[in-house]
Amino acid sequence: MKHLICALALFAIAAPSAGEAQQESHSSATDAVTVQQSVAEDPGHAPIPLVIWSPASGTSLPMILISHGTAAGPLSHVDTARALAAAGFVVVAPMHPGDNFQDDSIVGKSAWFVDRSRQVHQTISDMLEKWSDHSRIKPKAIGIFGFSAGATTALVSIGGKPDLAQVADHCAKSPEFVCKILAPRAADQAPQFIHDDRIAAAVIAAPGLGFAFEPNGLKEVRVPVQLWTGEADQTVPYASNTAIVRRLLTSDIDFHNVPNGSHLSFLAPCNAETPRFLCQDEPNFDRAAFHVVFNQALTAFFQAKLLPGR
C-alpha cells in the first residue's frame, strides 16, 4: 500500500502551484482552457483541495466532477479533464482528504466511502455556490467520472449502497486487492452514505467493491451510466466487480470492455516524469492511443446525457 502511495505521490506532484499562471492553451478548435486551484469547505472536516479546468469563455456550461482512485490525486486523469474542458465542460477534481497520495488515514475504514461521498457532495455545492465563476455552470447538467475507488465513490454518489458486511466472506473465498486494505472491522458501523441527486450522468471505470453491492445495492441508481472495464484488470477482477455492477444497474448502461487493458491503463498517459510503476500496461497496449478513444467516448456520453439536443 505504501509503495502505491509513494508512486502516486510522485505522479501527483506535477499539480500547478497557486502562484503559477492560471491559464494554458489547448491544442483544439475550442477556446483556451483555464486551470485554477481552489479549496472547498467541508464543515467539521478537513477542507477539500480542488483543481478546476474550465473553458475560457461561455455560459450555461455542464460540469463534471472527477473522483480519483485510492492514494492518488487531482491530476491522475489530467488528460481527460483537459479533453472535457476543451469540449466545453467545467471540470473539478477534488483531492479526497484521507485518501490521497499524502494521507491514507480513512482508506479501508468504515468512513472510507462515507467521507468520499460527502466530499463529492460538498465539492458540487462549493462549485455551484462559491466558485468565482459559479454563474457559468448549468446546475441541471452535472456529471461524475470515477476510477477504481473513485468509481465506487461515484456509484455511491448516484444512489449506490455497498454492504461492507459482505467483505469478510468474499475475501475469505476470493481474495483480491481490496481485501489487503480493508480494515477487519470496517463493517461494524452502518455507513451513512451521501447521495447527490444533482448528478445526472456517470462514467464508471474499473469499480472496486462491486461484490458489496449485491443484491440490491444499486436499485436506487436512476441516472445513465457509461461503464468501463479493462480486459486484463487483475486489481478489480471483472467477475467480482464490473460484471456485478453491470448486472445490477437498471438504468441506461453504455458498456465498454477495453481489450488488453489493465487497471492502471485508465490513468493519464505516461510522460518522462511519471514513475515507471504507473506505466505497466500489458504488452502491445498503447495507453496514449486508448485515451484518445476513451476521452472521445466519455465526452460524447456526457454531451448526449447532459446536453441533449445541443
pLDDT band at 18 (very low <50, low <70, confident <90, very high): very low
Reported confidence tier of residue 6, pLDDT bands at 50, 70, 90: very low
Q: Tell me: the pLDDT tens digits for 167-202?
A: 888 999 989 999 888 866 555 566 789 999 999 999
Residue-level pLDDT at 268: 97
Segment 125-140 mean pLDDT: 97
Residue carrying C-alpha cell 460524447: 300
Select from 3.30.70.2190, 3.40.50.1820, 3.30.930.10, 3.40.50.1100 the CATH code of 2-306: 3.40.50.1820
For residues 291-308, average pLDDT: 97
25-42 pLDDT, tens digit each: 333 334 599 999 999 999
How much is the pLDDT for 191? 76
Asked whether the predicted pLDDT for residue 44 surpasses 50, the reply is: yes
CA 230 and chain centroid, separation: 16
Nearest to 67 by CA among 24, 113, 29, 108: 113
* Residue 23 clears pLDDT 50, i.e. is over it: no
Q: How far is CA 305 from CA 31, 153, 201, in A?
A: 23, 20, 7
pLDDT interval class at 22 (50, 70, 90): very low
Cell numbers that stand for 137 in this block: 455552470
Q: Region 61-82: what's the mean pLDDT? A: 96
* pLDDT over 60 (residue 4): no
Specify the pLDDT at position 102: 93
Helix, strand, coil shares, percent, the chain, to 5: 35, 20, 45
